[in-house]
Amino acid sequence: MLRQPAVGFSILALLVLLLTLPAVAMNYSQIDALIESKDVDSIEHAIALLEEHLDKQADDGEALWLASKAYLYLGDRTEEGRLAVFEKGKEYADRAVEVVPDSPHAHYWLSALMGRIGQTRGIMSSLFMVRPMKEALDRVLELDENYAPAYWVLSQLYQQAPGFPLSIGNKKQALENAQQAVDLEPGNLEFQLQLARALEHNGKKEEAQELLLSIRANPKLKDDPELRSEVEEQAAQWKL
């Protein structure tokens, strides 16, 4: 299992705080902070807290989609048994969609987990997952037209999938959705990176490279070693 850098004081303090909470009181924002830390131990602790809570309140929709998110984050940082981790997350996402069908978060994490399962199983499964992923993301945007991560994932789908008649691949849509995600969350560096890739995919190489260099120079990038590594990998591919 891949390990992340040692957990900082703020995450340790958060763990201590969560351990002192009553079992019936879930602080969802603090649970989400553990997941977003990208630290494996913190994610696993978040899962343990969520599953203990769901044993008592099985129809807590917010806890269900948070559990699905946690398993996705864990699977991304797991080597052995990755597919089983993603499939466990999808079980929670499926349940969340049943319990809170009007939650955009439930549909978003279901889509994301379908994508991870398809990628893990291989190219053919990835292709079969494209349309159900898009349907889930379309549902997200029906519920919340300003849900920026949905545009971000749609951009990746349109960019990476083959075009008609095999699948939904579309360069123009890849760029439009990436731009929409950035317009909604201008400071999100992950969204900016996808926009750079979509620009390059559309032949706008100079704009793409300028944007990537801007991301690379952003001081916030140092706070996310995983994203920094991805940016450096992209820069190397473009010989920047």
Counted domains in the chain: 2
User: pLDDT category, 22, cuts 50, 70, 90?
Assistant: very low
Looking at the fold, whether 139 and 151 belong to one and the same domain comes out as no
Looking at the fold, whether 125 and 191 belong to one and the same domain comes out as no
Domain of 47? Answer: 31-144
Q: Any residues with CB less than 8 A from the CB of 183 and at least 6 apart, and which?
A: none
Residue 140 lies inside a defined structural domain of this protein? yes
Higher pLDDT, 119 or 147: 147
Looking at the fold, whether 135 and 188 belong to one and the same domain comes out as no
Q: What is the pLDDT of residue 2?
A: 36
d(Cα 104, Cα 49) in Å, to the nearest integer? 23
Residue 165 lies inside a defined structural domain of this protein? no
Residue 201 lies inside a defined structural domain of this protein? yes
> Longest C-alpha distance within the chain, in Å?
55
Instruction: Check if the beta carbon of residue 7 is closer than 8 Å to that of residue 37.
Output: yes
Looking at the fold, whether 64 and 122 belong to one and the same domain comes out as yes
Looking at the fold, whether 207 and 112 belong to one and the same domain comes out as no
Supply the mean pLDDT for the chain: 90
Residue 98 lies inside a defined structural domain of this protein? yes
Looking at the fold, whether 36 and 77 belong to one and the same domain comes out as yes
Give the single-character DSSP code of 102.
T
Q: Is 22 exposed, middle or buried (0-12, 13-18, 19+ CB in 10 A)?
A: exposed
Percentage of the chain lying above the pLDDT 90 cut: 82
d(Cα 130, Cα 132) in Å, to the nearest integer? 6
Looking at the fold, whether 46 and 125 belong to one and the same domain comes out as yes
Amino acid at 110: L
Residue 114 lies inside a defined structural domain of this protein? yes
pLDDT in tens, 84-121: 999 999 999 999 999 999 999 999 999 999 999 998 99
| Mean pLDDT for the stretch of residues 216-232 | 96
Q: Is the confidence at residue 8, as pLDDT, over 80?
A: no
User: pLDDT category, 174, cuts 50, 70, 90?
Assistant: very high
- Work out whether the CA dihedral 166, 168, 171, 172 comes out positive or negative: positive
Looking at the fold, whether 126 and 153 belong to one and the same domain comes out as no
Looking at the fold, whether 180 and 80 belong to one and the same domain comes out as no
CATH of the domain at 50: 1.25.40.10
Residue 22 lies inside a defined structural domain of this protein? no
Looking at the fold, whether 48 and 137 belong to one and the same domain comes out as yes
Q: What is the pLDDT of residue 164?
A: 83
d(Cα 33, Cα 206) in Å, to the nearest integer? 37
| Mean pLDDT for the stretch of residues 32-44 | 96
Q: Is the confidence at residue 144, as pLDDT, over 60?
A: yes
In angstroms, how far is the first alpha carbon of the chain from the final one?
Answer: 32
Looking at the fold, whether 108 and 136 belong to one and the same domain comes out as yes
pLDDT in tens, 46-83: 999 999 999 999 999 999 999 999 999 999 999 999 99
Looking at the fold, whether 129 and 47 belong to one and the same domain comes out as yes
Q: Is the confidence at residue 9, as pLDDT, over 90?
A: no
Give the single-character DSSP code of 219.
G
CA atoms within 13 A on the CB side of 142: 10
Instruction: Check if the beta carbon of residue 1 is closer than 8 Å to that of residue 38.
Output: no
CATH of the domain at 196: 1.25.40
Q: Is the confidence at residue 15, as pLDDT, over 80?
A: no
Residue 191 lies inside a defined structural domain of this protein? yes
User: pLDDT category, 176, cuts 50, 70, 90?
Assistant: very high
Amino acid at 209: Q
